[in-house]
């Protein structure tokens, strides 16, 4: 018998885009698993999935699925988390939830371990994983906040289709293929089953991710605004966001403008980001070096480049932040939270 403690882990939404990356991350990080249970809807129940050297049969997620589970990683949509996370908690499970269901609940910690790991300790059975676009932004903002203070943040995003799930990835491939086969591009709303209708994405740019709110912002934009304030513990920090979907598969990119409190310089900001946990600085304009979605794909870091001073505001800086939306933006961050629960004895 090994003396390393191991855990019974459930992955809810195991057949989805995020679920598949969670399995990959658990393997990569050699997470201490005793038994793993893979859960989905009834549609995928019976599917076989390879995990390490085992073939695991996917089961339909039900309240009873959580008997004997220690940790459950949820990424099956908000309604599934709302219905089943409390059932899991009732059975003594600690839930790491990847959906927006509990992120703004005051009793639920919202955590990026490099930024606010200690918040995990206050959990009541559920810890929320932030939105993918928020995670990479706060990872880059935290060291700046700590060293120079933050007065304002304005962000525009360039987001990959994989953020919208496995079906959206197929949709981009199909539309691109159809165009290359000679079909006309059109711009009408597409009726889509099980989903809100949306415009074609291939060879397009859509300034709408998730649904519109009464204030004219989309829910994705409001997630970035509200989650950032919660994670950075700065309820009054002005944050504005514009979220745009683009036709590439993996990694979100962000153009971020920050106004800092104290005088600083590009070199000082580069210097603290170089040493910040989870950040890789790639910022050499003279060598044409900066991060792109393609080179961030498959990697766990948050990449930062193009740091430059605003030409009209002495405390304004611009930067370009790129990260794999399914890894640090979802699966990797969730597994980091689970590791932190174990390492710190907070389970
Ligand atoms: P996806 O590829 O469409 O996968 C959805 C998964 O949920 C599938 O495994 C599906 O199982 C399962 N599922 C659907 N309905 C279910 C039900 N009633 N009961 C149990 N399982 C059910 O979507 P995805 O991109 O992986 O995203 C999944 C969720 O994760 C999203 O809705 C979102 O809330 C969250 N997410 C978070 C982030 C982030 O920013 N941190 C990023 C992306 C997604 P079947 O195979 O049976 O259909
Ligand atoms: N609609 O976790 O479409 O709240 O890219 C993440 C990504 C919701 C979320 C997307 C979304 C979430 C998307």
What is the Cα–Cα distance from 258 to 310, expressed in whole angstroms?
9
Average pLDDT over residues 259-280: 98
Q: Which of 76, 163, 222 to mutate to test the pocket of ligand 2 (most atoms within 8 A of CB)?
A: 163
Domain 7-129+330-343 and domain 134-325, same fold? Reply is no
pLDDT for position 241: 98
Is there a contact between 69 and 6 (Cβ–Cβ < 8 Å)? no
pLDDT-above-70 percentage for the chain: 98
Class of domain 134-325: alpha beta
Compute, in angstroms, the gap from residue 36 CA to the centroid of ligand 2. Answer: 26
Helices (H), the chain: 17-28, 78-90, 113-116, 132-148, 166-180, 219-231, 266-274, 293-296, 332-343
Compute, in angstroms, the gap from residue 220 CA to the centroid of ligand 2. Answer: 7
pLDDT band for 340, please (50, 70, 90 cuts): very high
Cβ(131) to ligand 1 under 6 A?
yes
- Atom number in ligand 2 closest to CA 161: 5
- Atom number in ligand 1 closest to CA 47: 46
pLDDT for position 2: 61
Cβ(333) to ligand 1 under 6 A?
no
The residue contributing the CA closest to ligand 2 atom 1 is: 210
Q: Which of 132, 158, 195, 333 to mutate to test the pocket of ligand 2 (most atoms within 8 A of CB)?
A: 132
What is the Cα–Cα distance from 151 to 131, expressed in whole angstroms?
22
Q: What is the pLDDT of residues 168-221, one digit of tens each?
A: 999 999 999 999 999 988 888 876 655 568 899 999 999 999 999 999 999 999
Residue-averaged pLDDT of the chain: 96
pLDDT band for 57, please (50, 70, 90 cuts): very high
What is the Cα–Cα distance from 84 to 82, expressed in whole angstroms?
6
- Alpha-carbon distances, residue 269 vs 153, 156, 164, 343 (angstroms): 15, 20, 33, 31
Q: Over 90: is that where the pLDDT of 1 sits?
A: no
**Ligand 2: lining residues by beta carbon, under 6 Å:** 99-100, 131-132, 159, 163-164, 209-210, 220, 223
Q: Over 70: is that where the pLDDT of 59 sits?
A: yes
Compute, in angstroms, the gap from residue 209 CA to the centroid of ligand 1. Answer: 16
Looking at the CA of 82, name the nearest ligand: 1
pLDDT for position 153: 99
Q: What is the pLDDT of residues 123-139, one digit of tens each?
A: 999 999 999 999 999 99
What is the Cα–Cα distance from 170 to 210, expressed in whole angstroms?
18
Q: Hey, where are the domains in the chain?
A: 7-129+330-343, 134-325
pLDDT band for 240, please (50, 70, 90 cuts): very high
What is the Cα–Cα distance from 210 to 153, expressed in whole angstroms?
21
Q: What pTM, to 2 d.p., does this model score?
A: 0.97
Catalytically annotated residues: 132, 252
Lowest-confidence segment of 6-20, 87-101, 178-192, 274-288 by average pLDDT: 178-192
Looking at the CA of 14, name the nearest ligand: 1
What is the Cα–Cα distance from 86 to 101, expressed in whole angstroms?
12
Cβ atoms within 10 A of the Cβ of 27, count?
13
From 3.20.20.70, 3.90.180.10, 3.40.50.720, 3.40.30.10, which CATH number describes the 7-129+330-343 domain? 3.40.50.720
Compute, in angstroms, the gap from residue 78 CA to the centroid of ligand 1. Answer: 9
What is the Cα–Cα distance from 192 to 13, expressed in whole angstroms?
21
């Amino acid at each position: 018998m090994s003396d390393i403690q191991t855990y019974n882990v459930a992955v809810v939404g195991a057949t989805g885009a995020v679920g598949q990356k969670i399995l990959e991350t658990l393997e990569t990080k050699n997470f201490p698993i005793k038994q793993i249970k893979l859960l989905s809807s009834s549609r995928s129940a019976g599917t076989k999935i390879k995990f390490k050297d085992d073939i695991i049969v996917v089961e339909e997620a039900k309240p009873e699925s959580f008997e004997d589970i220690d940790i459950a990683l949820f990424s099956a949509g908000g309604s599934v988390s709302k219905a089943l996370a409390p059932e899991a908690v009732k059975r003594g499970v600690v839930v790491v939830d990847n959906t927006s269901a509990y992120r703004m609940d005051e009793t639920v910690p919202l955590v990026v371990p490099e930024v606010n790991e200690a918040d995990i300790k206050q959990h009541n059975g559920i810890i929320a994983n932030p939105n993918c676009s928020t995670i990479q932004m706060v990872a880059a903002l935290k060291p700046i906040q700590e060293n120079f203070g933050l007065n304002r943040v304005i962000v525009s995003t360039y987001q990959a289709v994989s953020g919208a799930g496995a079906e959206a990835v197929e949709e981009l491939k199909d539309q691109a293929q159809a165009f290359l086969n000679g079909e006309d591009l059109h711009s009408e709303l597409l009726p889509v089953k099980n989903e809100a209708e949306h415009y074609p994405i291939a060879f397009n740019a859509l300034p709408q991710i998730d649904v519109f709110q009464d204030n004219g912002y989309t829910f994705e934009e409001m997630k970035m605004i509200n989650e950032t304030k919660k994670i950075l513990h700065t309820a009054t920090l002005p944050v504005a966001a514009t979220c745009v979907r683009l036709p590439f598969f993996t990694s979100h990119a962000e153009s971020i403008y920050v106004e800092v409190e104290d005088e600083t310089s590009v070199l000082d900001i580069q210097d603290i980001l170089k040493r910040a946990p989870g950040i890789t600085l790639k910022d050499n304009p003279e060598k044409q070096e900066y991060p792109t979605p393609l080179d961030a794909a498959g990697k766990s870091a948050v990449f930062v480049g193009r740091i430059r001073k605003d030409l009209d505001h002495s405390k304004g800086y611009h930067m370009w932040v790129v990260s794999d939306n399914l890894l640090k933006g979802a699966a990797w961050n969730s597994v980091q939270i689970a590791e932190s629960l174990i390492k710190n004895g907070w389970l």
